[in-house]
Amino acid sequence: MTSSTTPVWFITGCSTGFGRELARAVLARGWRCVATARNKASLADLADDASDRLLTLDLDVTDAMQIGASVDAALKRFGAIDVLVNSAGYGYQTAIEEGVEAEIRAQFDVNVFGLFAMTRAVLPTMRARRKGHVLNITSLAGLAGYAGSGYYAASKHAVEGWSDSLAVEVGPLGIKVICIEPGPFRTDWAGRSLKQTPNRIADYAETAGKRMQSTAQSSGGQQGDPVRAAQAMLKITEVSDPPRNLVLGAAALNGGTERLRALLADMEKWRDVTLGADFPASGK
C-alpha cells in the first residue's frame, strides 16, 4: 500500500500509555496516524521519519469544539478515519464512601462522556463509507470491580454497556466496535494517570486503603507489555471477524474469567428464584 491508501488511525490520549505506544506502532507499520493529546508538544518525537504520515493535534475530549475541529482537521489532511481509538482517560482511586463528588464527575467527563462525544463525531464519516473500527480502551475494571476502584470501574462498566449497544447499531453498517480490556501494564498509569483520595476511615484500611497502597508500590513491575499490547490492537483491525472484547494480559484473563464464572454460578444457583419472577405459563 502507498502512503495515500494506508489506514488512518485517530488516537486520543497519546501523551503516554497505550495511546502513545499505539501511535508508534501505527507509524512503524507505515500507516497514517492522527495522534492527539491535551498538549500536542508532548508528541513531537513521534514525527521522526514519519512527518508525512502523522498529524498531531491538541485535544481535550471534554471540549466539544476541539473534538469537532480535530475530526475536521483529520479529514482535511487524510480524507478518512478508518480506526478510532478512544484511549484518553485516567484512574481515580478512593473508598466509595470517601469519594469526592468533583473528582468523580471529572473522571466521568473524560472516561465516559468525552469518549461518547468523540465517537459520535467520527461515526458519520465511517457510516458514509460503510466501514471502520472503534476501539474503546476500557480495563479489567470494566468486567470486575475491586476495592478502591469503584468509581473507575463504574466509568469503564459504562463504556462496556454503551459499546454493546453501539456494536448492534453500527454492525450492519460495516463498523466494528471492540472493547480493549487490559489488566496491569507498564504504562506508568499509577505515576501519571491516577488520582487518589487518601483513605482516612479506618474501617476501609484493609480493603480500599490497602489496595490503593499496593497500586502505587507495584508501578513499574507489571507483567503486561504495552508494546505487545499495541501489536495486538493492530492485528485485530486486519481480520474480518475481530473479537467484540479483547482481553489483554494474564491478570485480565484470570480476573475476567473468575468474575464471569462467579456470575454464571450465581445465575445457576438461583435459577428457580429467577424463573419464579415471571408470570406462570398460563399467563395468570
142: which DSSP letter? Answer: G
- The one catalytic residue in 92, 146, 151, 152 is 152
Within 8 A by CB and 6+ apart from 57, the residues are: 34, 35, 36, 40, 70, 73, 74
At what angle are helices 64-78 and 115-129 packed, to 10 degrees? 30
Whether 151 is catalytic is no
212: which DSSP letter? Answer: H
Nearest to 207 by CA among 97, 99, 95, 92: 95
Beta-strand (E) ranges in 144-270?
175-182, 194-196, 245-248
Nearest to 182 by CA among 236, 251, 89, 239: 251
Judge contact between 140 and 181, C-beta under 8 A.
yes
Cell numbers for 87: 484511549
Residues forming the active site: 152
